Amino acid sequence: MQKVRGYIFSSDFCGQKIPQNVQNLYIRNYCKNNNLHYMLSAVEYSITNSVYILEGLFDEINNVNGIVLYSLYQLPSDNLKRKKFCNKMIKLKKKMFFALENIVVKKKEDFEKIETLWRLKKVIISNQSIWNY
């Protein structure tokens, strides 16, 4: 059984605020359904665009097989930071699981798929005012 660390937000992301207990329950169920040994979640600081805790998970990455994020939109919103983080995970042969979207990233091709989703989300958010008439 693969051992994984959870990762959740205490603030909003992409215009959504999901309570921590809901994120943890979702991650716990995801792990149970995917035969993953869930270790408690690390909680990101509620500072806008903070990824301090996420990057700090590298300090213990050798003790786990990967990280389970509630959503792929909890990755850094900055394109360069997101790419750097994901490339480091892939290089270390660690998996990223995104519970809400039911996506696993373990190689560069997987990362390209989530980048496409990120680009789409950014376009939708930037054009939201068009739909509010």
Of 63, 128, 132, the C-alpha closest to 94 is 63
Does the predicted model carry a pTM greater than 0.75?
yes
The pLDDT, as a whole number, for residue 14 is 64
Q: Which residue type, as a one-letter code, is found at position 4? A: V
Token pair in block for residue 21: 């207990």
pLDDT at position 66 is 95
CA dihedral for 22, 121, 13, 87, sign (positive or negative)? positive
Domain holding 23: CATH number? Answer: 3.40.50.1390
Q: How many domains does the chain have?
A: 1
Predicted confidence at residue 5, as pLDDT, reads 93
C-alpha span between 86 and 70 (Å, rounded): 16
Instruction: Give, in degrees to the nearest 5, the angle at Cα 32 between 27 and 34.
Output: 95
**Could you give phi then psi for residue 87, rounded to 5 degrees?**
-60, -40
Per-residue pLDDT of the chain (133 residues; tens, 9 = 90+): 899 999 998 877 767 788 999 999 999 999 999 999 999 888 888 777 777 788 888 888 889 999 999 999 899 888 899 999 999 999 999 999 999 999 999 998 988 898 888 888 877 777 766 555 5
Burial class (CB in 10 A: 0-12, 13-18, 19+), 65: middle
**Residue-range definition of the domain harbouring residue 35:** 2-131
